[in-house]
Amino acid sequence: MVATIKDVASRAEVSVMTVSRVLNGGDHVSLEKRERVLAAVSALGYRRNQSARGLPGSRTYVLALIAAEAPSYVAEIERGAIRQCRRDDYHLAVVSPDPAIEDPVEAMRALIATLRADGLILLPPLANHAGVLDLLDKAGLAYVRIGPDDRSDRAPSVGMDETAAADELTSHLLDLGHRRIGFIGGPPDQGGALRRYRGYARALERRGIKVEPELVRPGDFTFAGGLAAARDLLTMDHRPSAIFASNDPMALGVMSAASQAGLSVPEEIAVAGFDDGEAARRTWPRLTTIRQPTVDLGEAAAELLIARAGRAGALAPVQARVLDYELIIRGSTRAGADG
C-alpha cells in the first residue's frame, strides 16, 4: 500500500498542512514537529506526489544546470549533480540560454521567464558575469557557482585551487629537467584560464626561471586551438622541450602537432594537460594531466543548492567549498609512467 500525506500526518500527529510545510521547506514549524514528520516520512517510505509539484508557490524539485557553452567537463558535472538529486528526490535539467540573444543578461532573462526550477547551477563564464548574477539576485532565484573567479559571500560556490594545480604540474615538468616549457592558455573571459597561467608562472619563478613571452600562446580550450598554438611553438628556432596546455582537448592538439612534426612524445617533447577527461586516458601515450573533481563539483553544487531551496533556504549560510585535485602522471611526460 502506498503511503499518503494523510498517513504521514497521522503517524506524526500533526496536520496535513504541517507535513506540507516541512516537505516544501517552509518555516513556522517547530523543530520537534519537523523531526516527527521526517521520521514518519522515512518510516512509511512516503514519496511526494509529483502532480502537486506544479501548484503555484510550490517547490518544483527540479534544479537547472546552466551552461552558456558545452565544455567537455559538463557531462561529468551533470553526472555528479544527478547523483545528489537522486538522493534528495530531485530532478536535474540541463539548459542553455538562447545563443541567438547576444546579451548574456537578456538571454538569461528570457530563460528564467519560462524555466520552473528551485535553483540554478552556473558554470563559467556565466558564473562570473556580474549582470547575470545581479539579475538572479533581483529575481530571488537561488544559485550556486562552479569555479567562480572569486569566493564572495553573494552566493554559494564550489571549485578547486587551479593555481596550485597548475603550479604542481609545471613543477613536475621542471623536476624532469625541462627549462623551456611552453604554455597554451584559455579564453580570456574564463578566470580558470588565468589561474592556470598564474600557477605556471609561479612555479617557474620559484625556480628562478623567467617567463618567456615567446613560449606562451593564447588558446581557446579546443583541439584546433591547441593544434594551431603547438605548431607555432614547435617551429621556433629554439623550441620548448615541454608544453603545458591548460586543458586536455588542447593538449591532444599538441600531441597531434608533435606527431605531424615527426617528434616523439615524451622523448623529444613532453605534453601535459588539465582536466583528466576520458580522452586523456584513451590517447597514446596517455596524457599527464590534472584530475579535476568534476563529478564531485556537480554533486557538491547540487547539495548546496538543495539546502537553499524553499523559503527557509534563504537563511542558510553561504559556503565556498574548495575540493581536492590530483596530479596524474602518465606516459606523455615520462616514458614508462603508469596510466
**Lowest-pLDDT range of 83-87, 123-127, 198-202, 305-309:** 305-309
pLDDT bracket for residue 83 (50, 70, 90): very high
Examine the pLDDT at 89 and tell me if it is beyond 90.
no
Cα–Cα distance for residue pair 137/106, rounded to 1 Å: 15
Q: Give me the mean pLDDT over the 20-31 stretch.
A: 69
Return the percentage of the chain with pLDDT > 90, whole number. 61
pLDDT bracket for residue 56 (50, 70, 90): very low
Contact at 8 Å (CB) between 292 and 277?
no
Q: Give me the mean pLDDT over the 220-230 stretch.
A: 96
Examine the pLDDT at 31 and tell me if it is beyond 60.
yes
Examine the pLDDT at 166 and tell me if it is beyond 70.
yes
> Around Cβ 57, how many Cβ atoms within 10 Å?
7
Query: CATH for 62-159+294-325, among 3.20.10.10, 4.10.220.20, 3.40.50.2300, 3.40.50.300?
Result: 3.40.50.2300
Residue with more model confidence, 41 or 87: 87
Give CATH 3.40.50.2300 domain extents, the chain: 62-159+294-325, 162-292
Contact at 8 Å (CB) between 303 and 273?
no
201-240 burial, b at 16+ Cβ within 10 Å, e below that, comes to: bbbbeeeeeeeeeebbbebbbbbebbbbbbbebbeeeebb
Residue with more model confidence, 83 or 151: 83
Return the percentage of the chain with pLDDT > 70, whole number. 89
pLDDT averaged over the chain? 88
Examine the pLDDT at 6 and tell me if it is beyond 90.
no
Q: What's the confidence (pLDDT) of residue 54?
A: 45
Q: What's the confidence (pLDDT) of residue 335?
A: 65
Highest mean pLDDT among 6-15, 284-293, 302-311: 284-293
Q: pTM of the entire structure?
A: 0.78
Give CATH 1.10.260.40 domain extents, the chain: 5-50
pLDDT bracket for residue 191 (50, 70, 90): confident
**Lowest-pLDDT range of 66-70, 130-134, 199-203, 329-333:** 66-70
Q: What is the domain class of 5-50 according to CATH?
A: mainly alpha
> Cell numbers of 252, please?
591532444
Q: Give me the mean pLDDT over the 144-173 stretch.
A: 92
**Lowest-pLDDT range of 63-77, 90-104, 227-241, 243-257:** 63-77
Q: What's the confidence (pLDDT) of residue 284?
A: 94
**Lowest-pLDDT range of 19-33, 143-157, 219-233, 236-250:** 19-33
Contact at 8 Å (CB) between 153 and 315?
no
Cα–Cα distance for residue pair 272/289, rounded to 1 Å: 5
Q: What is the pLDDT of residues 120-146, one digit of tens each?
A: 999 988 999 999 999 998 888 899 999
Q: What's the confidence (pLDDT) of residue 28?
A: 66
Q: What is the domain class of 162-292 according to CATH?
A: alpha beta
Q: What's the confidence (pLDDT) of residue 35?
A: 82
Cα–Cα distance for residue pair 228/90, rounded to 1 Å: 43
pLDDT bracket for residue 52 (50, 70, 90): very low
- Maximum Cα–Cα distance across the chain: 82
Cα–Cα distance for residue pair 268/262, rounded to 1 Å: 9
